[in-house]
Amino acid sequence: MTRFLAVERALRTAAPHDLLRAVRSALTAHYDAIGVDLLMADYSLTVLQRVTALPHTGDPLDVRTTPQGRAFGSQEPYGQYSAEGNTFDLHLPVTVRGDRLGILTVRMPEELSGPETVGELQDVAELLGHEIVVAERDTDVYLQARRASRLTLAAEMQWQLLPGRSCSRPEYAIGAQLEPAYDIHGDNFDWSTTAETLVLTVTNGMGEGIQASLLTNLAVNALRNARRAGVGIADQAALADQAVHSRHQGREYVSTLLLCLELATGRGEVVDAGSPQLWRYRDRSVERVTFEAQFPLGMFQESQYVPQAFEALPGDRLVFVSDGVYGAADRSGVAYSERALARAIHATSLLPAAAVPRAILETLADYRDAAAEDDALVTCLDWFGRPAASDA
């Protein structure tokens, strides 16, 4: 049995709450590791928090100014010499199908940190990420480690509803983020893929607090229920519309933008049922893409939804924003979308999709009135198209 397989076996047989102890013990035994730390990215994606004796974590590490943060941002291993003798700290991204969870730090003797070892430890970090995702069904340890402060109940409900914060396939990469991360209530993003299609939705439930979260939960689960029944996005919207209206009789409703794309061609359909906007970065130019506006879900009984044709070209970047982004105003009352949003999209053009939402939301925080409390959602979809080798 190779040393990697020994670590893999240790992780797969470990109790859900005990993955850190298992990987630490296995790396010490098979890779001569001197120390092993696991850090989880917090909900705001601004700090990395050590998995320690939970529910209390160690001091957070800034993602912008620390070596661990450098590895997290670049999604590449980053090594540094340690102050403790001839040792080397290797910071490894813990990422699952593009969803950035955190960092695995391994301290080892300098002479053992060759390329082959680094490659194997990258595989260990990826394997650990998969095990964490599975373990979160049975333990709160890793979710607790993500918290720099307490979540509101509405935010707890919203984060549990989300598919992740990023994902990637050869045809596309997605990144998404919500703010205020610890006090969100009505905004939501969702995606699902098959061998042939990608469905992405951006949702904004009206209201505040628990009521907005409950409303959004109803709408998102109704959309998922329809999607999993195999119907198109127009019927998904219609069935979710009926579910929301049946519960609230038009008093409350949900704004949603639904997108379905064929992975092989980039062609697909959009249903615009409310306030979320789509902006496109193509050939170094930024423009808002408008669609025929249709009724939000639940506003009227048995609304009919008509999809519109849409095509993404290889190299396109699609940025979805909620009204808490484009409608946010500075002290003079000028909306963010009128002055700053296109600049922010252009300024982040060199960043990977997973990093774009956080960067745009940081510019928004600097722009808008500090008293603003509305949810703000940014979802970025980079479209690469299906590689030629996969066309056969």
Q: How high is the pLDDT of residue 53? A: 62
Helix/strand/coil for 214: helix
Q: Which residue has the tokens 């990637």?
A: 168
Locate 255 and state its tokens.
Answer: 């704004």
pLDDT tens string 314-370: 999 999 999 999 999 988 889 999 889 999 999 999 999 999 999 999 999 989 865
Whole-model pTM: value is 0.93
Separation of alpha carbons 68 and 79, rounded Å: 9
Q: How high is the pLDDT of residue 388? A: 77
Confidence of residue 389 (pLDDT cuts 50, 70, 90): low
Locate 40 and state its tokens.
Answer: 């989880």
What letter represents residue 38's amino acid?
L
Q: 206-216 burial, b for 16+ CB within 10 Å, e for fewer?
A: bbeeeebbbbb
Number of other CB atoms surrounding residue 332 within 10 Å: 7
Q: How high is the pLDDT of residue 372? A: 55
pLDDT tens string 206-230: 888 999 999 999 999 999 999 999 9
pLDDT tens string 118-130: 999 999 999 999 9
Lowest-confidence pick of 36-40, 56-60, 90-94: 56-60
pLDDT tens string 153-190: 999 999 999 999 999 999 999 999 999 999 999 999 99
